[in-house]
Amino acid sequence: MTYPIGMTCQQLVELVTEYLEGTLPIEQRARFEQHLAACPGCADYVQQMRLTIQTTGQLAEDALEPRMRDALLSVFRDWKRTAESSSWSASSC
């Protein structure tokens, strides 16, 4: 969806990290915030990202049961392998 302010939802998603870190240039930040004011879905998304960051920042490795920790590590390893093989396949074309 494109709004009169000229930022699509996709563009907002791509800029959310910079926005939350406070590194988004002033002009883009203003458009970002105007989009948030006009788009409840994106406003919810940004709020969810804030909560996720806040929650994960409070987790400690010893707070996880060993089985859960091992399962998460396995998922991340599989994701990394998949990402690496995808980028290798794309670069070999």
Task: Give the bridge partners for 52, in sequence order.
Answer: none
Query: What crossing angle do the helices spanning 9-21 and 26-38 adopt, rounded to 10°?
Result: 120
Note whether 66 and 53 are same-domain residues: no
Note whether 49 and 80 are same-domain residues: no
Quickly state the pLDDT bin for 27 (edges 50, 70, 90): very high
Note whether 5 and 50 are same-domain residues: yes
Q: Amino acid letter at 30? A: A
Of 32-36, 65-69, 85-89, the least confident: 85-89
Note whether 44 and 72 are same-domain residues: no
| Domains identified in the chain, total number | 2
Of 5-14, 16-25, 38-47, 53-62, the least confident: 53-62
d(CA 24, CA 17) in angstroms, rounded, equals 9
Note whether 8 and 52 are same-domain residues: yes
pLDDT of 54 higher than 60? yes
How far is residue 9 from each of residues 12, 64, 73, 87, measured CA to CA in Å? 5, 35, 31, 26
Note whether 6 and 48 are same-domain residues: yes
Domain of residue 31 covers: 1-58
Residue 87 tokens, joined: 């980028």
Quickly state the pLDDT bin for 3 (edges 50, 70, 90): low
Note whether 2 and 47 are same-domain residues: yes
Instruction: Write the DSSP symbol of residue 62.
Output: G
pTM exceeds cut of 0.75 = no
